[in-house]
Structure 1
Amino acid sequence: MSIRHGLLALLERGPRYGARLRTEFESLTGSTWPLNVGQVYTTLSRLERDGMVVQEEADEAGHDLYAITDGGRAELRSWFETPVDRTHPPRDELAIKLAMAVGAPGVDIGEVIQSQRHHSLKAMQDYTRLKAQALADGPSGREEIAWLLVVEQLIFQAEAEVRWLDHCESRLAHLAQSAGGESRAPAGLPDVPGRVSSPAVGPRS
């Protein structure tokens, strides 16, 4: 998550102080990725060091204001125009966990998958309820629309994770049955490759 670019995007709308930047960032993202003030000011200090923001005179309430520079605007434009790099994906704890669970003594990988699927399905259902509530409230402002986009991304992400877990389970069951001509899969895995698709969790529209 690029906090620095998020702060630059907010500063392009006008000078702001740290606490206000945190509030606006969390409001636009529905507090999905909460920030603390220390994190905001640390990022502002680095942006100031890099010539992307400057500190202005304090406002009437004594808050130290920060403003974006031309260099900051150029950096922000480049960020908006450049696709997010997927050639070096971040480490995924779930993928690492399943990779380590394969063949690990005393670990039932089927149970690991089932437990994660239950958690991911619940998250998907919770996000879908949040989306339904947002649509019922009639999103019209910038913050409401921004949050709707974020929560829909979370829904698709959770759905993709559930589908991947189904695939992992079927893949492992197939390999287990193929190896040595075994007729049954290991404990915790289905006897027959493939699963019934995950239950629907709500409208996408």
Structure 2
Amino acid sequence: MSVRQSLLAILDRGACYGSQLRAEYHRRTGAMVNVGQVYTTLERLERDGLVVGRGLDDEGRMLWEPTEAGRLEARTWLSTASQIEKRDEVALKIALAVTLPGADVDGILSAQRAAVRQALADPEAPSETTDAVSAAIVRAARRARLDADLRWLDDVEELTRGSAPFALSADRPRRGRPARSAL
């Protein structure tokens, strides 16, 4: 989930200061976000013309509001489908390992399987400040993805049977950075 769009969507409900945004994000999703990331994101949103500072609250904290462009971005994000991952680091690691001589693919699969099983065995308990329905949605999605990961690892094990690593290609790209000359 994009922290950027999430903060914009929360701000669409009303002006907030940074720590308040962090608390609202946690209350609504059950996920934690570093307060420094919230403030860095707010600075970027301001730079991009998506939020503006609306003065200080009674305790001297900067209140932020979305601009019309920010409201539009948040509403567009909420109304469009999202891909879970654009880049799957685990799949890329295993795909690479299959091609490398000496890589322990079975060991990698075993370690990944153990990590997924451990994650399944350690359910995240909702905090008292998290909305129960929101927390249940996030936990159910996590469990479904972890179950799917185990099935996928079984498929990968089948796919990698009989695969053979290979050496670097003899083909060389025409482009490349020239070596620095020793002066």
> Please, what TM-score do these two structures have when normalized by structure 1?
0.70
Match of 1:164 among 137, 152, 168: 152
The 5 Å alignment of 1:55-204 reads 55-85=53-83, 89-127=85-123, 130=124, 143-173=131-161, 175=162
Confirm or deny: 8 A CA contact 1:28 1:144 kept in the other structure.
no
Over the matched positions of the two proteins, sequence identity in percent amounts to 40
Confirm or deny: 8 A CA contact 1:29 1:150 kept in the other structure.
yes
Q: Counterpart of 1:91 in 2: which secondary structure?
A: coil
Q: CA RMSD in A?
A: 2.5
Q: Counterpart of 1:84 in 2: which secondary structure?
A: coil
- Taking a change above 3 Å as real, the CA distance of residues 146 and 54 of structure 1, as seen in their structure-2 partners, is same
Once residues 68 and 99 of structure 2 are traced to their aligned partners in structure 1, the CA distance between those partners, rounded to angstroms, is 55
Confirm or deny: 8 A CA contact 2:50 2:66 kept in the other structure.
yes
How far 1:167 sits from its partner (Å)?
Answer: 0.8
- Taking a change above 3 Å as real, the CA distance of residues 112 and 62 of structure 1, as seen in their structure-2 partners, is same
Letter in 2 for 1:120: V
> Please, what TM-score do these two structures have when normalized by structure 2?
0.78
How far 1:21 sits from its partner (Å)?
Answer: 0.7
The Cα offsets for residues 103-154 of structure 1, whole Å up to 9 and x where unpaired, read as 4333221121112111101212323xx4xx66xx9x9x97221111111111
The Cα offsets for residues 65-116 of structure 1, whole Å up to 9 and x where unpaired, read as 1112322222212111222257xx5322211221122143332211211121
Q: Please, which runs of 5 or more residues in structure 2 have no aligned partner?
A: 165-183
Q: How many residues align?
A: 164
**Structure 1 ranges of 4+ moved more than 3 A:** none
Confirm or deny: 8 A CA contact 1:18 1:37 kept in the other structure.
yes
Once residues 170 and 60 of structure 1 are traced to their aligned partners in structure 2, the CA distance between those partners, rounded to angstroms, is 62
1:2 aligned partner: 2
Q: Counterpart of 1:102 in 2: which secondary structure?
A: helix
Once residues 121 and 62 of structure 1 are traced to their aligned partners in structure 2, the CA distance between those partners, rounded to angstroms, is 47
How far 1:46 sits from its partner (Å)?
Answer: 2.2
1:193 aligned partner: none
Confirm or deny: 8 A CA contact 2:26 2:130 kept in the other structure.
no
